[in-house]
Structure 1
Amino acid sequence: MEFLKKLGIEGTNLGTSTGQKFIGSGAKETISSHTPIDGSQIADTTVTTREEYDQVVNTALEAFEEWRMTPAPKRGEIVRQIGLELREHKEYLGRLVTYEMGKIYQEGLGEVQEMIDICDFAVGQSRMLYGKTMPSERPRHRMYEQWHPLGITGIISAFNFPVAVYSWNAMIAAVAGNVMIWKGSEKTPLCSIAVQNIIAKVLKRNDLPEGIFNLVTGGREVGEWMTEDERLPLISATGSIRMGKEVAKTVAGRLGKTILELGGNNAIIVSKDADLEMAARAIAFGAVGTCGQRCTSTRRLIIHKEVFNPLKERLVEIYKEVNIGNPLKEDTLVGPLIDQQAIDNMQNALQEVQDEGGEVIYGGEVLENKQLDGGHYVRPAIVTAQNDWDIVQEETFAPILYLTQYSDLDEAISLHNGVKQGLSSSIFTLNIREGETFLSARGSDCGIANVNVGTSGAEIGGAFGGEKETGGGRESGSDAWKAYMRRQTNTINWGSEMPLAQGIEFDVD
């Protein structure tokens, strides 16, 4: 396919890169990438060996010596050029994201646009790595703080956003003076290679050293090399809660730093004072977009009892109109799940709901016909359930929307917060008191809380992340840049005496 050639994807691709070149040989273990659209093989990617991994780390350490001393605005200039290069390749990379991951083409393009947007944001940030000046209690002393890069930022990303989440980390970390080692998902290795090829064009054009933007490829073993490696002071990991707990334990054991973006079990409260049509459309996008495979997907719907039936009926109407099929086609709104395991997980979850006494109101079927042969297609499901059921408490990475009722706002907030995850949240209401209560300290306990906005579609200008077992990490906008740097407090004595703090007297003859 033409877009694969434009991105430098061939039959067998080297999966280890030190920035401008790929290293290793094809005569070793490989990962086969298959499209979830029809199950066909796209290409192979070599798996990083331990020897190659150490070569990447050593190259990154050498590059850091030069990159950290490059003025931050000049680092920002490199990121600006990466953004321009992404603009040139937006159509091709967006199509690859769709082809390898399965989200619809508009969402694939949107993911690349997120990369472009974060590049723009990071360019501005490169001139705003501010420290504070503080008054000293000692005469003729000046106190201030400044921020320095940490070193190598290890980035472990997931299949559902195979390129955007990497850029949230990498572009901010780069302007902060860090170098990067990225392990993308083994389910979408070609997206990682394509991004590396795009960045390499900028690195070569600017005659930059190897080792600033690095790539390793593989599964759990390669990720463990990174989390155990003391040469990587920061690990930013996106994935399941189970994975995140292992990463946190390992990195903390060596007193390293982590940014964790883990599971989401996101809910929307729908008030009796809501604009139901606005709510229904936001719910549908949040619940079925990316076939329910976003960390911010809407999974729980907490509806006031007075509007429960009208909203339920409207959602069924919308779901019936959703076109499911090949995500590369313009009229498709829901593409496939990533693989057969995802289908099995969805079917098991639906069976558990019914065993508990819940009802499948609509959908849930595995779809098989000539047009969908070989792919992993399902019909998004709407079900009734209780918030405290075990299956509702867990995050099933599939398009299942759990509906439950409430009587008053305190009950709704209690149900909303009654899960172990805390990523994204929303309330739909035209009652200002309800909206402000939801955003107050007694409201949503999530890292993201919205009023009359769905749970999906966060902008890069705000810090992205969640609380509780979502991990507590923050990426992207606001002051998330601080996570990639170390704070240093400085004191300068410009006088001729040596006074001590706290008025301590220590005279030496």
Structure 2
Amino acid sequence: MLIGLSIFMISLCQPYSPGRGVTSYEDNMESIKKLHIKKANSGICTGTEWISPAGSKVIESISPVDGRIIAKIQAGGAPEYKRIITQAQKAFPLWRKIPAPERGEIVRQIGEALRKDKENLGRMICLEMGKSLQEGYGEVQEMIDVCDFAVGQSRMLYGATMPSERPSHRLYDQYHPLGVVGIITAFNFPAAVWAWNAMLSTVCGNVLVWKPSSQVGLTAIAIQHIIARVLKKNKLPEGIFSLICGSGKDIGDLMLADTRLPLISFTGSVRTGRHAAQIIAGRLGKSLLELGGNNSIIISPEADLAIAIPAVVFGAVGTAGQRCTTTRRLIIHESIYDKVRDGLTKAYKSLRIGSPLNQDNHMGPLVNQDAVANYLAAVETIKDQGGEILCGGHALQGEGFESGCYVAPTLVEVKSDIPIIKEETFAPILYLIRYSGDINQAIEINNSAHEGLSSAIFSNNLREAETFLSPWGSDCGIANVNIGTSGAEIGGAFGGEKDTGGGRESGSDAWKAYMRRQTVTINYGHELPLAQGINFTI
């Protein structure tokens, strides 16, 4: 999720101003229409065929930008799910026989189609989820980049050849597709996380069933329309890319328990991730879990604060604190603590909060009013546990904030042992923690979180940086030096340890998660020597 920091180079303005030039829902309707979004939309598709559900369950997509209903989605249930899975099962034997580079060509065409609709889809993400327009465009660009990556990967599904201990034998491993892969995604990255999974899984030879978050179903429907054009152009069968919108209870649990889905990629909270993992493990299925992240940045006495402060602000308030890689804890050496605290306080009071469709604003809304309620509850808990609110700590009201989804980004001074900092509040709350010892004390605080997704250190001291990266350093899946916790490039595997779930997506060798591994031994000799020197004669 590599988004530039330019929008967060802070300039002074009226605190918490909703800004000017806010673009309304009506102004963006033309973009939505170009994505084939109507007032009422089927949320079930086998690839190119849209299914009208038998039930009457409807999801209203409400924009956190202004509180208006964007459009409605006809949700699926058990009958539609059965139809989706049946079609996917029929498609898999055909799709896996297509050579991987040819599958890569389909992904290349999907990337080209996304390029053409980048602006429209970026606006859709912004309007439905609430992240800034710049971040919406960035998310679509990430989809495009993942397509490009997957095209290359389609020619590099490598196995390794090992020397055999037996004469006239060849030993190697190879990888085959799994089958029908289920993808369950969260609201905060309604497009990119699906693309991480879908594009790599597709070139590996799998077919897909996607259940998006009900908060952002329109974005998924818009993407499915884009995919459908590529499928039609290439006369591909139904069932390769499938979509079914519905609740976790109606659709999600069906997927988790379904033995016809050998792999479920699940993105969500730790709580729901535990629920998913238990059901999948109960049927001995495979799970790829991307769960919470209570991420921290260490600022040592030898940090370059000119780059550290903007990175901290972006990491803490980008996407309104609703990233799994959001910076939630700032671990600052006592020798520079006051300087960092004062610099952040000044920066926070300069942030422009308002419609994410206005690119002058630094932060938009939370996804819905429930998220605001969770934020306010966390603020009260912070106060009860002795934390000191330096700025923020309240919801925003008045002109420009009518949706009830806007909050003030919040800085809090805390001690490292208060319970609230062990919890991930999906909101722009940043905890400032003082440390007085060497880098090992800061690393201990970093590692005290239950989650282990992203971490960072700002230091120009080589020994500190290398200690942070050592086996006794950060215990997170992502460890950065002199950059923040947000902004992972697609070329690296994305994921974390502990309560984050252990899954890896996107780059490096993450493609292997979508395949079954097979060890092969070939005897091309005229004798039958056994391994380990065993002698067996008859």
Q: Which residue in the other structure is 1:36 paired with? A: 64
Matched, 1:449 2:485: no
Contact 1:386 1:392 in 2 (8 A): no
- Quickly say closer, same or farther: Cα 1:26–1:314, change in 2 above 3 A: farther
Contact 1:12 1:26 in 2 (8 A): no
Matched, 1:4 2:32: yes
Secondary structure of the residue aligned to 1:495 is: coil
Match of 1:376 among 396, 405, 409: 405
Match of 1:241 among 270, 277, 292: 270
Contact 1:37 1:375 in 2 (8 A): no
Cα distance per residue 1:91-129 (max 9 Å; x no partner):
000000000000000000000011000000000000000
Match of 1:218 among 229, 246, 256: 246
Q: Which residue in the other structure is 2:12 paired with? A: none
In the TM superposition, residue 419 of structure 1 has moved relative to its aligned partner by 1.0
Secondary structure of the residue aligned to 1:161 is: coil
Q: Which residue in the other structure is 1:421 paired with? A: 451
In the TM superposition, residue 59 of structure 1 has moved relative to its aligned partner by 0.5
Q: Which residue in the other structure is 2:90 paired with? A: 62
Q: Which residue in the other structure is 1:126 paired with? A: 154
Q: Which residue in the other structure is 2:349 paired with? A: 320
In the TM superposition, residue 373 of structure 1 has moved relative to its aligned partner by 1.4
Distance 1:412 1:25 in 2: 54
- Amino acid in the other structure paired with 1:500: L
Distance 1:504 1:436 in 2: 47
Match of 1:73 among 101, 114, 117: 101
Matched, 1:184 2:184: no
Matched, 1:157 2:185: yes
Where does structure 1 lack aligned partners over 5 or more consecutive residues? none
In the TM superposition, residue 26 of structure 1 has moved relative to its aligned partner by 7.6
Match of 1:47 among 66, 72, 75: 75
Number of residue pairs matched by the alignment: 508
Cα distance per residue 1:319-342 (max 9 Å; x no partner):
122110010012111000011111
- TM-score, with normalisation over the residues of structure 1? 0.98
Secondary structure of the residue aligned to 2:214 is: coil
In the TM superposition, residue 378 of structure 1 has moved relative to its aligned partner by 0.8
Identity of aligned pairs, percent? 58
- Amino acid in the other structure paired with 1:486: R
Q: Which residue in the other structure is 1:139 paired with? A: 167
Distance 1:395 1:422 in 2: 12
Matched, 1:461 2:494: no
Distance 1:274 1:505 in 2: 65
Distance 1:373 1:340 in 2: 11
Distance 1:59 1:180 in 2: 11
Secondary structure of the residue aligned to 2:231 is: helix
Distance 1:214 1:281 in 2: 40
In the TM superposition, residue 505 of structure 1 has moved relative to its aligned partner by 2.6
- Amino acid in the other structure paired with 1:265: N
Distance 1:295 1:289 in 2: 11
Q: Which residue in the other structure is 2:363 paired with? A: 334
Where does structure 2 lack aligned partners over 5 or more consecutive residues? 1-28
Distance 1:135 1:187 in 2: 52
Secondary structure of the residue aligned to 1:371 is: coil
Distance 1:328 1:229 in 2: 40
Contact 1:131 1:144 in 2 (8 A): yes
Q: Which residue in the other structure is 2:10 paired with? A: none
Q: Which moved more, 1:119-128 or 1:402-411?
A: 402-411
Cα distance per residue 1:143-183 (max 9 Å; x no partner):
21110000111100000000000000000000000001000
Match of 2:261 among 232, 246, 268: 232
In the TM superposition, residue 27 of structure 1 has moved relative to its aligned partner by 6.1
- Quickly say closer, same or farther: Cα 1:4–1:27, change in 2 above 3 A: farther
Matched, 1:107 2:135: yes
Secondary structure of the residue aligned to 2:329 is: strand
Match of 2:323 among 294, 298, 315: 294
In the TM superposition, residue 507 of structure 1 has moved relative to its aligned partner by 2.3
In the TM superposition, residue 362 of structure 1 has moved relative to its aligned partner by 0.6
Matched, 1:278 2:271: no
Matched, 1:257 2:290: no
- Quickly say closer, same or farther: Cα 1:63–1:346, change in 2 above 3 A: same
Distance 1:372 1:352 in 2: 25
Q: Which residue in the other structure is 2:505 paired with? A: 475
Contact 1:387 1:393 in 2 (8 A): no
Cα distance per residue 1:173-215 (max 9 Å; x no partner):
0000000100000011001101111111111100000000111
Contact 2:494 2:504 in 1 (8 A): yes
In the TM superposition, residue 500 of structure 1 has moved relative to its aligned partner by 2.3
Q: Which residue in the other structure is 1:267 paired with? A: 296
Contact 2:44 2:53 in 1 (8 A): no
Matched, 1:309 2:329: no
- TM-score, with normalisation over the residues of structure 2? 0.93
Matched, 1:19 2:63: no
Matched, 1:433 2:471: no
In the TM superposition, residue 20 of structure 1 has moved relative to its aligned partner by 1.1
In the TM superposition, residue 430 of structure 1 has moved relative to its aligned partner by 1.0
In the TM superposition, residue 504 of structure 1 has moved relative to its aligned partner by 2.5
- Amino acid in the other structure paired with 1:384: E
Match of 2:237 among 209, 213, 226: 209
Contact 1:279 1:428 in 2 (8 A): yes
In the TM superposition, residue 497 of structure 1 has moved relative to its aligned partner by 2.4
Contact 1:268 1:301 in 2 (8 A): yes
Aligned-residue Cα RMSD (Å) equals 1.0
Distance 1:44 1:248 in 2: 31
